[in-house]
Every structure is written in C-alpha cells, then in structure tokens.
Amino acid sequence: MSTIPAQTDLNERPTANVYLAVLFALGLSHLLNDAIQSLIPAVYPVLAEDFSLDLAKIGMITLTFQIAGALFQPAIGFFTDRRPLPYSAAVGMVFTFGGLVSLAYASSYAFVLVAVTLVGIGSSIFHPEATRAARYASGGRQGLAQGIFQVGGQIGGALGPLCAAFIIVPQGRASLTIFTALVILAMVLLTWTARQQTAIREHFNAIAASANKDGKTSVHSRRTVLFGLLVLTVLMASKLAYLESFRSFYTFYLIERFGVSVSTSQLMLFVIFISSAIGVLIGGLVGDRIGRTRIIWISILGPLPFTLLLPYADFFWTGVLTVVINLIMASAFASIMIYAMDLVPERVGLIGGLFYGLNFAIGGIAAALLGRLGDTIGIEGVYRLCSYLPLIGLLTILLPRPSAKD
C-alpha cells in the first residue's frame, strides 16, 4: 500500500495517492450496512399488509428505527475521539445481525419495533468510527474520501428496494435472513480496515501537526463554531425532511396516485437512490475543486424549481423530476460533513456521530410527522407542502468560512 508524503496544508488538493484500498473497503462496508437499513422502509408495504398498518404506524416504525440509530452516535463519537476503538464498527454489526433476523420472524407490531431498534443501534455504532477512518485515509482529499464513503451508503440504500422487489415481496419476510450474509461480509471488511488504522492514523496526525505548528485547532471562536454547526444542522434537516418523504412514502405515493404495482414502485425507489449515490460522489469530487460553500448553495436551492413542479407531474415526469431532485440534493452531503469537520477538526468522531445521528433522528421525526399529516391531508398534499422546504437553504449565507478555499 502506498504512503502519503507529508504536506503543509490539509486543505490543499494533494498530489499523493490516498489509501484507496481502505477507502473502498470502508465504502463497501457502508454499502452493506445501509443496504440492511434500507430493507426496513423497502418492506413497509409487506409489513402494512401483514399487520394492517396505517401511515401513522409506518411512520412510527421509521421514528423508532431512526431514534435508535441516533441515540448513541454522538456519545460514541465523543468517546472515541479521546480513545479510538477501531474494532467498534465491526462489533456494532452484531446488533444489525440480530435485528435483521428478528424482523424476518416478527409476529407482532411491537416485535417489529424491537427488531428495527436493534438495526438502528448497530448503525449508531458503525458510523462514527467508520467516518473517522475515512478521514484518516483521505490523504488530504477529503471530498474524494467522503464521496467514496458516502456513495457506498447511498448505493446500499438503493439496493433495499431492489431486493424487496425481487426477493422479499415474492418470497415473504422470512427471506430477510438471506441478507445476514451481507452483515458477516461487513464484519470481515471492518475487521481488516481496523487493523490498518494505527499506521494511517499516525500518518494523518503527523500531517495535521505539520499543518498546525502554532497548535491552533480552529480559526473561529467557540460561539462562531457553534453557530456554524447550528446552521449546518438546519440545512441538513431541511434536506432530510424532504428526502424522507421519498424514503418512507414514495412507494405509497406512486401506488395511490398512478396505480402502479408494489414491484414497480420499489424499482422507482431504487432509481431515486442510485441518483442520490451519483450526486454524493459528484458533490464530493467537485467540492474539492470549487469549495464546500458553492456546492452547498447549488444543492440547497438548485432543486427548488423541480420540487415545486413535482406534485403536478404525470408518471413519466414524476420519475424524471425525482431523479433530478435527489441528484442535486445529495451533492452536498459530503460537503456539509467536511465543512463541519473543518470547524471542529479535533472532534472528527463527534461530528461524524452527531451528523449521522441527526440524519437518523431528523429522518425519523419527519417520517412520523409526515405519516400523520398524510393520514390527514393525503399523501399528495404532503408532497405539495414539502416542495417549499428547499427555501430554508437561504440560511447558507450565514455560514462562517472555515478556510480561504471554501
């Protein structure tokens, strides 16, 4: 494996090779983890039929799963910033394994909630350490590293609906046990990457030390950093609330409005998730060149014309518009994460845990609220209301600038 020559500025685009083997292993692990996660909303139509669930109860499943996923992430990230635990990500997959098997054989709605809680806990342990490992292996190209890592998660999210359409819907919930093989593979990959972390972490810290000889860890005051993180959180929340409407309710929207089959709706959901994966990778790569702020602006306000048109489109243009919306919206995920890490460079694990935790929590709360709203005003009314959420992106103007490049 190649090494990374010392650099004088971590924010420069380096000429050295990054630890691609580690990055791709982490990206594949993220794919496998999020593929398991995505099976949960993908089987909602099956669960709704098995247990006679309305939209409010479907939203509560998402809320339970997302809160469990959010609960431990910031605490784990904070702890591992002080005492790294490279093998913790692999250990977290044990909870995921148990949750997947439990969901396959759940005999009641309450048992379903327990099962998704276990999967959520597994993800909460996985993300902070894996995020830190990706930053260590970046070689300074943080956009590339986060792009590879996050695109793995996006592709994994896309596989859930595909697996549901071709395996779970035809064969039933018991077929979920087939996917325990993915959990075992993720554990193997995470164990291997953990073994590489000592050398990579020491090299990264040496680069960071040379880049900060004056001992400063941030160019901003504590108040400015906290305000910047608050703005980033609100921006992330606005994006996640809208995207959650796709993740949890898009299949119901297509079935109700256009009368498509469950399998067709799952395939449409797969296409949307793939577009998000492409958007994440493009956003990470372009962000290394043009800066994080520009990418965030494009991602936040760019989808607005398309979201406003979506509720009035026919089936064909609904597919086109949702692909464009998710492609643009997803482009800022890597930039928002790196922006936050640049504001608090000594708390990478905490930032990773906090933002992935917020991802889970905000998504869960949004799903529960949108589910209840959908039962009141209808699923089409929900999409008309959500179409205005990108306007919150105007808050981007309030962000502090973490570096000259951004």
Question: Cα separation of 284 and 150, whole Å?
Answer: 9
Locate all alpha helices (DSSP H) within 212-221, ordered by sequence: none
**pLDDT for residue 337:** 77
Residue pLDDT, tens place only, 44-59: 888 888 898 887 888 8
pLDDT for 13 beyond 50: no
Question: Cα separation of 269 and 247, whole Å?
Answer: 8
Question: Cα separation of 320 and 219, whole Å?
Answer: 43
CB 148, CB 134: distance < 8 Å: yes
Domain that holds residue 300: 20-209+218-398
In the numeric block, the tokens 């997803």 are attached to 330
- What is the DSSP-derived secondary structure letter of residue 39? H
Q: What is the mean pLDDT of the chain?
A: 79
CB 359, CB 68: distance < 8 Å: no
Rg of the chain (C-alpha set): 20
Question: Cα separation of 52 and 392, whole Å?
Answer: 36
Paired tokens of 331:
């482009």
Please report whether residue 403 resides in a domain: no
Q: How confident is the model at residue 4 (pLDDT cuts 50, 70, 90)?
A: very low
- What is the DSSP-derived secondary structure letter of residue 365? H
Which amino acid makes up residue 19? Y
Residue pLDDT, tens place only, 220-248: 677 888 888 888 888 887 777 787 777 77
- Domain CATH number, residue 65: 1.20.1250.20
In the numeric block, the tokens 């209840």 are attached to 372
pTM score, two decimals? Answer: 0.68
Please report whether residue 296 resides in a domain: yes
pLDDT for 153 beyond 90: no
Q: Supply the DSSP string of 267-289, one letter for each residue.
A: HHHHHHHHHHHHHHHHHHHHHHH
**pLDDT for residue 7:** 37
Please report whether residue 246 resides in a domain: yes
**Mean of pLDDT values over 5-29:** 61
More confident residue, 19 or 107: 107
Please report whether residue 10 resides in a domain: no
Long-range CB contact pairs, 46-51, < 8 A, 24+:
46/164, 46/168, 46/169, 46/172, 46/173, 47/112, 47/173, 50/173, 51/108, 51/109, 51/112
Please report whether residue 32 resides in a domain: yes
Question: Cα separation of 122 and 245, whole Å?
Answer: 24
Which SS3 state, helix, strand or coil, does residue 291 take?
Answer: coil
Residue pLDDT, tens place only, 286-329: 877 777 788 888 887 888 899 899 989 999 999 999 999 988 88
**pLDDT for residue 261:** 86
Following CA atoms 283, 286, 288, 290 in sequence, which dihedral angle do they give, to the nearest 10 degrees?
Answer: -120
CB 114, CB 70: distance < 8 Å: no
Count CB-CB contacts under 10 A for residue 201.
Answer: 17
Q: How confident is the model at residue 274 (pLDDT cuts 50, 70, 90)?
A: confident
CB 109, CB 210: distance < 8 Å: no
Please report whether residue 118 resides in a domain: yes
Question: Cα separation of 2 and 16, whole Å?
Answer: 9
Distances (CA, A) of 361 to 104, 326, 336, 382: 24, 20, 17, 20
- What is the DSSP-derived secondary structure letter of residue 172? -
Between the two ends of the chain, the Cα-to-Cα distance in Å is 31
Paired tokens of 92:
């977290």
CA 191 to the chain's CA centroid: 22
Question: Cα separation of 354 and 358, whole Å?
Answer: 6
**Mean of pLDDT values over 172-190:** 91
Which candidate, 190, 54, 174, places its Cα nearest to that of 122?
190
**pLDDT for residue 96:** 93
What's the domain count of the chain? 1
Please report whether residue 405 resides in a domain: no
Question: Cα separation of 74 and 323, whole Å?
Answer: 32
More confident residue, 58 or 361: 58
pLDDT for 207 beyond 90: no
Q: Mean pLDDT highest for which of 183-187, 251-255, 260-264, 349-353?
A: 183-187
Please report whether residue 6 resides in a domain: no
**Mean of pLDDT values over 360-384:** 79
